[in-house]
Amino acid sequence: MASDVLKLTAQIVISHASMSELTSPELVEEIKEVYNVLASLEGEGVVPETMAPQQGEEAGVVKKPSIPLKDIVTYKHVVCLECGKKMRTLKAHIRKAHHLMPKEYFKRFDLDPKKYPLVCREYSEQRSAMAKNRRFGERGTHHKATS
């Protein structure tokens, strides 16, 4: 890449030098100047083109999940969008492994917590079954089931 700039610099300086009488120090200065201009132009030409899409994503903060959203919540497990691990509940995992609170996790991937819960269906069914059993057990008391 630098050699292209160098070649171009030489061509420009030679064609310029052939038209005007430059002393050696002037020639060196001109080479430096032309080279710097070309190098900076090339830098500007390359960097924004490849950086632009990434910058756009960063600005939105939302990360694009690599796993199709329809696959992340199943009966037996939920998939962590951060690392792709499958588990019954992600609550503890995202906190320990990725230092994310559930709220941050949903925000990070722009998820709807109602559509994509952090626990698999089997787990939440077991939880609600347990809650029901507890309510049965507490029948006769005035306590409301809290869990």
* Contact residues: Zn ion, CB under 5 A: 80, 82-83, 85, 97
In 3D space, the residue among 76, 82, 112, 78 whose CA is nearest the CA of residue 95 turns out to be 82
Q: How many other C-beta atoms lie within 10 A of the C-beta of residue 126? A: 13
> What is the rounded CA–CA span in Å between residue 66 and residue 63?
9
> What is the rounded CA–CA span in Å between residue 85 and residue 144?
36
Kindly state the smallest distance separating residue 60's Cβ from Zn ion, in Å.
21
Kindly state the smallest distance separating residue 98's Cβ from Zn ion, in Å.
6
In 3D space, the residue among 130, 114, 128, 84 whose CA is nearest the CA of residue 102 turns out to be 114
Kindly state the smallest distance separating residue 75's Cβ from Zn ion, in Å.
20
Q: In terms of CB distance, is 47 or 83 closer to Zn ion?
A: 83
Q: In terms of CB distance, is 96 or 142 closer to Zn ion?
A: 96
Kindly state the smallest distance separating residue 105's Cβ from Zn ion, in Å.
9
Q: In terms of CB distance, is 34 or 72 closer to Zn ion?
A: 72
Return the structure tokens found at 98: 């990725």
Q: In terms of CB distance, is 31 or 80 closer to Zn ion?
A: 80
